[in-house]
Each structure stands twice: as C-alpha cells, then as structure tokens.
Amino acid sequence: MPHTTHAFVAPLRQLLAGALIWAASSAGAWAAVVSYDILLDTDNNSATGCTVATARGNFAGVERVLTTNVNVTPTSSTVTGVTVQSCESGALGALRTISTDSWPVGSFALPQTDPVEVVETFLPLAELGQTSTTVRAGIVARTPDGGDALLGADLTIRRAAAPPGVAAVPTLSPLVLALLAAGIGLGGAWLARRHQASMMVLGICVLMGASGMAWAATMLMDGQTSDWSSAQQRLRGDGQNKNLVGLWFDHDAQKAYFRIDACQRSE
Ligand SMILES: [Ca+2]
C-alpha cells in the first residue's frame, strides 16, 4: 500500500507545484509597480542642478525629483507612496519621504485609446525654492517596458498668493484665514448673545468661517478630476508617447499639486 500511495502522491505533488508556479507567474504578470518621476528645475536655470537621462533625451538643471509610486492591477490602481530627491553636488541624493499614504488612481475615457488613468500627487511648496516664479518641469514614466517622458513645462508659482480660484482674497495666509474664521465665529456669538438671535445666526457665521478655511486646501488626492477644472494642463503627449498623456499643475499656499494622465495598461 505505501508504494501505491507514493505512486499517487508524487504526480499530485508535481501538479500542485506547477499550479502554484502558474498562479505566481500570473499574479506577477497582472500586478506591476509603475513610478512617475517629476523633474523640477526649481531655479529655472538649466546650468544648475543634475542632468537626468530620459526616453526623450537628457533634462538638465534638475534640483528636485518627485517620485510617485503606483501599484497597477487589472481592476484598480493605487498610489502607494511619494518621495523626493534633491540634487547634491551634481548627483541625486537620498530618497526623502513626502507621503506614505495610499489613494486611488482615477480614470477617464479618451477616444481611440485605453482608458486614461489619473494619478494625483503633491509636494510641499517650499521644495520648489523660495525665489523663482517659474519652475521648469518634465515627467518620466518608469514602466516595465522601458518608460516614457514629457519634457519642458513652465510651471508658474504665484509667490505669496492665495490658492487658485480665490481671487477675492488674494493675500490671506492660512494663519490669517484661521484668525478670520475665529473672528467671524466670535462675532457671530457676540451678535447672537446681544440680540438674543437664534443659534442659526451663529451657525451661519461658523459656516462662513469654515468655508474660508476650506479655500486653503485645493486638491484632494482621490483620482477625481473635478477639482482640476480651473487648473491648466502643462504638458501634452504626442504620437511618440507610449504611456504619458499629460501633466497638470497647480498649487496653494502650502503644497504644489500634480496630476499625471497616463495609459498604464496599454502594454
Ligand atoms: Ca536648475
């Protein structure tokens, strides 16, 4: 009997091993990590900084590289982390963590292509330097098939300016906004007490103050494009681009926001 059992077990074991290898290789084929590097010439001077080689040629003058990692699967893609590197003495330095949070990658349909995926990412505005109002930028997609690049965007930084779309209060810093919100709330409380008004007055005042605070944060990292309606597309893919469709940019008082449009599943 032991001999008979062995005769069954050996092929069964081989079959099981084969199935496991197939499952592992299938999973490997369907899940991939794609990285997007946004190259930033923060002083708008190609003579200072690092030179980065890309699929569309060298990009010189880079002070910062913002890297956004995306985990791609057949059903969904997710941003899994954001890091930045600084150019130090002609070479890119150690990775510094910007975010370890995860957020969804969105998508939209475009005629005659695969669905375009929307990767949102961000960087503290201070990383773009303190002086230049123009930052030159490029984007590199690092995909398993060799990658892609779009180069030469001019990003406009509104120094000491309000978030986009809030032209009515152009010089309010977040601190001033917070004080203003508190002031409106306290003013409402004083009015409500003095005039025996209903709590509704107070509620409206608090809401007005809170809406002022909400203006300070522009882009939600959720893969949705609705908050990009007032932003401008800075780079656009052409017939030579394998993955990259576009790069969008905007900023508020604290953060620079980027939106990368890409066809990630075309390979
Ligand atoms: Ca530079």
Per-residue confidence at 217, pLDDT binned at 50, 70, 90?
Answer: very low
| Residue-averaged pLDDT of the chain | 79
Distance 40 CA to ligand 1 centre (A): 8
Q: Which amino acid, residue 141? A: A
- Answer with the residue of higher pLDDT: 10 or 67: 67
- CB of 256 closer than 8 Å to CB of 249: yes
What is the predicted pLDDT for the residue at 28? Answer: 47
Distance 65 CA to ligand 1 centre (A): 12
Q: Domain-by-domain residue ranges, the chain? A: 32-160+218-262, 174-214
Give the list of residues 6+ apart from residue 45 with CB closer than 8 angstroms, or none: 61
Distance 84 CA to ligand 1 centre (A): 16
Q: How many CB atoms lie within 10 A of CB 136?
A: 24
Half-sphere exposure of 55 (CA within 13 A, CB side): 18
Q: Which amino acid, residue 118? A: V
Q: What is the pTM (predicted TM-score) of this model?
A: 0.69
Distance 137 CA to ligand 1 centre (A): 10
- CB of 210 closer than 8 Å to CB of 228: no
Distance 48 CA to ligand 1 centre (A): 4
pLDDT tens digits for 56-76? 999 999 999 999 999 988 888
- Answer with the residue of higher pLDDT: 218 or 63: 63
Dihedral sign for Cα atoms in the order 88, 89, 90, 91: negative
Distance 72 CA to ligand 1 centre (A): 32
Distance 154 CA to ligand 1 centre (A): 13
- CB of 70 closer than 8 Å to CB of 33: yes
Phi, psi of 220 (to 5 degrees): -90, 135
The encoded tokens of residue 85 equal 């590197």
d(CA 17, CA 193): 77
